[in-house]
Amino acid sequence: MNTIDYFKLQAKNLHKDFKTKTPVLDKTATAFLYEYTPKYFDIEMVIADFDIDEENFSLMNAQHVIAKIANFDKWASLLKAPPSELELAKLLYDHQNRIDLVGWHFYIAEAQSMNEDELDAEIQVEIFKQVVIEENIFDNMEIESYLLKHKN
């Protein structure tokens, strides 16, 4: 599956998880709230972090959230990204339980400062594979993940 199709599937899965909502009566406020039975995503965390309108969550909204999680400002930017940036985005997305975007940006900024050179996406992919996947140097960090497959 190519990377764009992978992210499309993630957006569909997020949208499916949102569609599992069921109204629950909050006895203290006598208002309806929602509960979810998601398979793929920590929906409460997504709602909180991305200020989701639970009443009007569309597939387009899901695509936007997935783009943000994958380090793009919007879905259209993800679709237009070169292959090396998409590969890096997929690595960051798949391993979000090991290092978050902020941590990765700090790590790369430090590496660029030490090398006195900007590291393009291809080089960042190789660095990511080495330090995050092979060496797992961020193993001692506790990272929240939007993906349920990473939850214990």
The predicted-structure confidence for 37-58, as pLDDT tens digits, reads as follows 999 999 999 999 998 999 899 9
Residue 26 has pLDDT above 80, yes or no: no
Contacts 24+ apart (CB under 8 A), 101-105: 101/71, 103/138, 103/141, 103/143, 104/128
**Cα separation, 152 vs 149, whole angstroms:** 8
Determine what percent of the chain is predicted with pLDDT higher than 70: 93
Radius of gyration of the chain (CA): 17
Model pLDDT, residue 74: 97
Cβ atoms 52, 46 nearer than 8 A: yes
**Cα separation, 11 vs 80, whole angstroms:** 17
Cβ atoms 78, 86 nearer than 8 A: yes
Model pLDDT, residue 32: 58
**Cα separation, 65 vs 113, whole angstroms:** 31
Instruction: Give the pLDDT confidence of 55-85 residue by residue, as tens digits.
Output: 899 999 999 999 999 999 999 999 999 999 9
Q: What is the band of 33 on the pLDDT scale with cuts at 50, 70, 90?
A: confident
In 3D space, the residue among 57, 56, 47, 45 whose CA is nearest the CA of residue 16 turns out to be 57
pTM here?
A: 0.86
As a whole number, the mean pLDDT across the chain is: 90
